[in-house]
Amino acid sequence: MNTSRSPHPPARVRVHTLPVRLTHWLNVYAMACMFMSGWAIYNASPIFAFTFPEWATLGGWLGAATIWHFAVMWLLVANGLVYLLAGIFNGHLRRDLLSVSVADVRQDLAAALRMRLGHRIGHYNAVQKAMYLGVLLLGLLLVLSGLAIWKPVQLQALTALFGGFAAARVVHFLAMAGIGLFVVVHLLMVLLVPRTLPPMITGRAAPHPVGERQDA
């Protein structure tokens, strides 16, 4: 009679810290509000030959959309500062994002295009690192160009740095579009690798055997 027991499943390990998870989900809410209220503001004075559908906007009219935009802006900025400070003190930025090179990005991008890029939960490949660093820089550009639009007289030096009020609006829109593209790619990656979603809620995931390949 075989009385051997099946081995216990390995303990789940932490892959995302609490600050990373909290700021991530706050960003989901804040960015949705910023996009939708920003589109309503854009519709009031379009830059290009198109407008956004009314159902995709927030506020209902220019005044309310502006209130939403600037109110949520402070939440987004505060959330970003918390993420950056936590990432500096716990080593997340240095360990997970800043340790990247152009050669690494080229190599991992080529592997991704061949659908041969391995993925480990809690580990950032070079393409992911470049994308996250890029979206942080776009966020900074959004804040600066937004301030230039908000206070073009008081911050006229900043507005002039962007080439004037009209040019600052274009920069602000393009930075928003860049972050929007990042969001779309991010969501596609979650759909392709759905096991990455639960750890962003719980913070933990089952460890993967050494040498196991997970193509995404």
- Write out pLDDT tens, residues 93-121: 777 667 777 777 777 777 766 666 666 66
148-207 per-position pLDDT tens digit:
999 999 999 999 999 999 999 999 999 999 999 989 988 887 787 777 777 777 777 766
pLDDT for 9: 54
Kindly state the percentage of the chain with pLDDT values over 90.
38
Residue 215's pLDDT band, with cuts at 50, 70 and 90, is very low
Q: Which residues contact 158 (CB under 8 A, 6 or more apart)?
A: 144, 147, 148
Q: Regarding predicted confidence, which is higher, 3 or 49?
A: 49
Please, what is the Cα angle at 170 between 165 and 172, to 5 degrees?
90
CA-closest candidate to residue 14, choices 200, 214, 210, 197: 200
pLDDT for 7: 55
Question: What average pLDDT score do residues 4-18 get?
Answer: 63
Instruction: Give the predicted TM-score (pTM) of the model.
Output: 0.77
Radius of gyration of the CA atoms of the chain, in A: 21
Under 8 Å between Cβ of 82 and 72: no
pLDDT for 29: 92
Question: What average pLDDT score do residues 32-39 get?
Answer: 95
pLDDT for 214: 39
Under 8 Å between Cβ of 138 and 76: no
pLDDT for 5: 52
pLDDT for 177: 94
Q: What integer best gives the mean pLDDT of the chain?
A: 81
Residue 32's pLDDT band, with cuts at 50, 70 and 90, is very high
Kindly state the percentage of the chain with pLDDT values over 70.
81
Residue 80's pLDDT band, with cuts at 50, 70 and 90, is confident
pLDDT for 54: 93
Q: Regarding predicted confidence, which is higher, 216 or 116?
A: 116
Question: What average pLDDT score do residues 69-88 get?
Answer: 87
- Torsion of Cα atoms, 122 then 127 then 133 then 136, to 10°: -90
Q: Regarding predicted confidence, which is higher, 130 or 155?
A: 155
